[in-house]
Amino acid sequence: MASKESTVVAASDWESSACCECGRLKPAKRVEAGKRYCDTCYARCFKRLMCSGCGMFKTMLASNPLSKCRQCVAAAPCIRCARSGRPLGMLREEGPVCNSCYPYFKKKAPCELCGEAANRGSYIESESGRKLVCHRCERADHRTCALCKRHRRCNAREDGTWACKKCLEVGVIPCSNCATPMPAGYGVRCMACYRRARCEAEALQLGELLSTQRARAAFAEFSAWAVAETEHVRLVKALALHVEFFLALEAHGDEPWSEGLLLRTFNASGLSLYKLPVRWLRESGLAEISLEAKIDNAERGRSIALVELTAPNTLARQLMQAFFDELDVKVKAGLLKRRSVRMALRPALTLLQTADPHGQLMPEQDSLDKLLEHAPGQRNAVSTFLGFLKAKHGVKLSTKESSAKPNTVRRRLLGEQLAALAKEPLRSAEFDQRWKVLAMAYFQKMTQARAKFLLKNGELEPQDGGYELRAETDVFWIPAPPAIRSDAIDLPRDSASPYEPPRRPPQPVLRR
């Protein structure tokens, strides 16, 4: 360390710097705390003393009894980055400087190409000799060689491309492995041989992760097959992933690598990550995974995911798990398909969540009615779960539709009122308003209160055969009342449409 410091600090000033003790212009033997000592003064001022830091006898400045040796001073944190344990770059009066921060304390020198002063410089060889240049100018003439694809100092060719010196001077040489012609910039091997060697070295290194002879031999065979079958550029990056496939199989001991073991270990979704090892197993005859088995495994995984959507240690989880176990027995007996299990679990989960989001209550009839009101297409699918609840827990729920729904009854009453109003022979002054309210409620399927509100706040415009109401950015059509007829026919009470306008049919609601 001392020799490096003496060289770095005194190299440029040896001939012009004076000794701080005697004042003579002599080269510095040692620099201590920013002061230079010639060889004569060094022998007089520096003695062998005990270091106050490490307690060892070292050559130190005799005038300072508390001084530390160079090793203890260099072990202190860098005065710029405060990192410890870094290689020493230089020693200053303030403390040590690591080798990474050393360039920031150097004197700036002008670049011989661009003239910009920089404290980081390097020497390059040029046609005019050796030059000190900055970091930016150092690689100004570097390009990617059009022949060997290396980023080097290149020269322009006649066709406008760039080529390195080796490719220009030597040209094309044979590969040392396969004798294939290649640019001289490659070195001794062509790119194909280089990538192949990289794959083989990577496979050999990854094979050490496997502990059993069976797994190591299988991975070695797989690697040799993959090197011959696939692109080396992608394979060298994928081998680290493929070795995890063999590590997972190695954990099962001597169990044969069958279709069941692969699906049980990785599942259908996991096998999609290891397409290359699975292909090797198939082509080598060690294992064959059918499409039906993959679909079956995927459906089972989806069913298990539905069961796990319920919170653990709840009544809903217990019901879902027991229901799944019962259906799984039927699947193994060949009485049910995996897809049917998933289709039965979905409405069961929805029913339990409708009954209680926390999963602590048994579903009741109100919960089932609410489910079927929002999803009437689940009526047949939920019947399997209802049968399970009835057989195992005695809960009887019905999916039959009610004979009279409130909306149907209200609409039938509105139709009867509208028909009776149309048959009145004597029409009072309030007839027109009553007709608009009833017709609006019946044809637009809303309550009479809502109809009165829209008629009061909207703009009513007479049209041919009725009225057009504009309210709340919507347009509603109201048919005009029929003319007074003496031979009006009573409509039956169960008629779905008690009145049809004479000219223009009811128009749907138009949304802007």
What's the pLDDT at 348? 92
In a domain, 398, yes or no: no
Residue 443, token pair as written in the block: 């044809």
Distance CA 163, CA 144 (A): 7
Distance CA 247, CA 417 (A): 79
Residue given tokens 């692109």 in the structure block: 231
Mark which of 172, 191, 210 sits at the end of a domain: 191
List residues bridging with 461 in a β-sheet.
468
Mark which of 393, 428, 444 sits at the end of a domain: 393
What's the pLDDT at 1? 38
Residue given tokens 């029929």 in the structure block: 482
Distance CA 433, CA 461 (A): 14
In a domain, 401, yes or no: no
Structural domain that includes position 486 = 406-511
Same structural domain for residues 77 and 125?
Answer: no
Chain mean position to CA 280: 29
Q: Which of 194, 202, 197 is nearest to 220 (CA)?
A: 202
In a domain, 370, yes or no: yes
Same structural domain for residues 416 and 454?
Answer: yes
Same structural domain for residues 442 and 422?
Answer: yes
Cβ contact 106:99 at 8 Å:
no
Residue 228, token pair as written in the block: 């011959």
The pairs formed by 193-198 with CB atoms below 8 angstroms and a separation of 24 or more are 195/232, 195/233, 195/236, 196/227, 196/232, 198/232, 198/236
Same structural domain for residues 410 and 459?
Answer: yes
What's the pLDDT at 507? 52
The CA-atom distances, in angstroms, between 324 and each of 307, 337, 431 are 8, 13, 63
| DSSP 8-state class, residue 314 | S
What's the pLDDT at 69? 84
Tell me if residue 320 falls in helix, strand or coil: helix
Same structural domain for residues 50 and 87?
Answer: yes
Within 168-312, strands assigned E span 172-174, 181-183
Greatest alpha-carbon span in the chain: 143
In a domain, 110, yes or no: no
Distance CA 287, CA 430 (A): 86
Residue 53, token pair as written in the block: 């830091």
Distance CA 199, CA 205 (A): 10
Gyration radius from the chain CA atoms: 46
Cβ contact 192:179 at 8 Å:
no
Cβ contact 340:346 at 8 Å:
no
Cβ contact 314:339 at 8 Å:
no
What's the pLDDT at 322? 93
What's the pLDDT at 445? 83
Provide the number of structural domains found in the chain. 5
Distance CA 19, CA 11 (A): 14
What's the pLDDT at 6? 37
Tell me if residue 146 falls in helix, strand or coil: coil
Same structural domain for residues 284 and 315?
Answer: no
Interaxial angle between packed helices 259-271 and 275-284, expressed in degrees from 0 to 180 and rounded to the nearest 10? 150
Q: How many CA atoms lie within 13 A of 129 on its CB side?
A: 2
In a domain, 377, yes or no: yes
DSSP annotation string for 427-460: --TTHHHHHHHHHHHHHTT--HHHHHHHHHHSEE
275's enclosing H/E stretch is helix 275-284
Same structural domain for residues 365 and 415?
Answer: no
Cβ contact 281:257 at 8 Å:
yes
Q: Which portions of the chain are predicted below pLDDT 70?
A: 1-16, 127, 401-407, 484-512
Mark which of 132, 163, 191 sits at the end of a domain: 191
Cβ contact 350:371 at 8 Å:
yes
Same structural domain for residues 504 and 446?
Answer: yes
In a domain, 112, yes or no: no
Cβ contact 71:79 at 8 Å:
no
Q: Which of 194, 185, 188 is nearest to 146 (CA)?
A: 185
DSSP annotation string for 263-300: HHHHHHHHHGGGHHHHHHHHHHTS----HHHHHHHHHH
In a domain, 383, yes or no: yes
One-letter identity of residue 281: L
Three-class secondary structure assignment of 93-138: CCCEEECCCHHHHCCCEECCCCCCEECCEEEEEECCEEEEEEHHHH
Same structural domain for residues 199 and 177?
Answer: no
Start-to-end CA span in the chain (Å):
84
Pick left, alpha or beta for residue 182 (phi over 0 → left; psi -120 to 50 → alpha; otherwise beta): beta
Strand order in the sheet with 459-463: 459-463, 466-471, 474-479, 510-511
Tell me if residue 57 falls in helix, strand or coil: strand
Its sign, for the CA torsion 63, 65, 67, 72, is: positive
In a domain, 399, yes or no: no
Same structural domain for residues 20 and 72?
Answer: yes
Residue 335 CB partners (closer than 8 Å, separation 6+):
none
